[in-house]
Chain A
Amino acid sequence: GAVVSQHPSRVICKSGTSVKIECRSLDFQATTMFWYRQFPKKSLMLMATSNEGSKATYEQGVEKDKFLINHASLTLSTLTVTSAHPEDSSFYICSADSAGQGKGGNTIYFGEGSWLTVV
């Protein structure tokens, strides 16, 4: 079963409002989570690296005041798109690193992704 849960899977919001997307590691503690975005007909783009208990590290060109990331606990990271606009409509996906948690093998797990539509 899924070990990283992302919610909501689909959300529609009005332009100018804010929307929050949650990424939860279900059976391990993730000190590091990653947030990605997919632009139309393109590959995933890393937006930021979320570190528990500290500020996220944003990639160049990503507006940190618009895409707020909070990693308040070892099992939860949230991405809030503030003052959303139609151009923010996209597919957002998170991944969590379970390194050191005894899960062995591959230590990176992906959420299911979230479709955001801003109208």
Chain B
Amino acid sequence: GNSVTQMEGPVTLSEEAFLTINCTYTATGYPSLFWYVQYPGEGLQLLLKATKADDKGSNKGFEATYRKETTSFHLEKGSVQVSDSAVYFCALSDQNYGQNFVFGPGTRLSVLP
């Protein structure tokens, strides 16, 4: 079945450091890919998404490119802020195969001032 693998955390960075959170997936079809973020005490928020190969999703300085050849959707940000501290979830949705969202385990990011 479909699955999402995500780098384990926690990840601790200093403010203004470069961030990469790796995500790879396994899917039988052509899924859409998502990054969700959950700030402390809050529910999930969609951060960005990409629906087909080579698409780049971007939002709030975060970017991720849908790489079909490597089945990856790595999240990047050039300069993190303390306010970016949260848990980040990579997910896929492959509705054509009757399966909905599959989430990665999440990566906790802590940004220190």
Interface size class of A (residues with CB under 8 A): 20 to 34
- Name the B residues within 8 Å of A95 (CB-CB): 44
Verify B101–A91 contact, CB threshold 8 A: yes
How far is B46's CA from A46's CA once the two chains are assembled, in angstroms?
10
How far is B89's CA from A54's CA once the two chains are assembled, in angstroms?
28
Contact of B106 among A49, A91, A106, A115 (CB under 8 A): A106
Question: Which residue of chain B lies nearest to A32 when distances are taken between CB atoms in the complex?
Answer: B41
Q: From known contacts A106-B106, A108-B106, infer whether A34 and B44 are also in contact, taking CB-CB under 8 Å.
A: yes
CB proximity to B under 8 Å, residues A27-73: 32, 34, 36, 38, 40-41, 43-44, 46, 49, 59
Main secondary structure of the interface of B (DSSP, over half): strand
- Name the B residues within 8 Å of A44 (CB-CB): 36, 44, 46, 101
Verify A43–B43 contact, CB threshold 8 A: no
- Name the A residues within 8 Å of B8 (CB-CB): 105
Question: Which residue of chain B lies nearest to A43 when distances are taken between CB atoms in the complex?
Answer: B46
CB contacts between A and B, total, < 8 Å: 48
- Name the A residues within 8 Å of B43 (CB-CB): 34, 36, 46, 49, 59
Main secondary structure of the interface of A (DSSP, over half): strand
- Name the B residues within 8 Å of A107 (CB-CB): 87, 108
Interface 1/0 per residue, B39-81 and A, CB below 8 Å:
0010110100100000000000000000000000000000000
- Name the B residues within 8 Å of A49 (CB-CB): 43
How far is B93's CA from A32's CA once the two chains are assembled, in angstroms?
25
Verify B44–A105 contact, CB threshold 8 A: no
Verify B105–A106 contact, CB threshold 8 A: yes
Verify B44–A46 contact, CB threshold 8 A: yes
Contact of B108 among A105, A110, A115 (CB under 8 A): A105
Verify A106–B9 contact, CB threshold 8 A: yes
Contact of B87 among A40, A43, A93, A108 (CB under 8 A): A108
Which 5 pairs from chain A and chain B are nearest by CB?
A46-B43, A106-B106, A91-B100, A34-B43, A43-B46
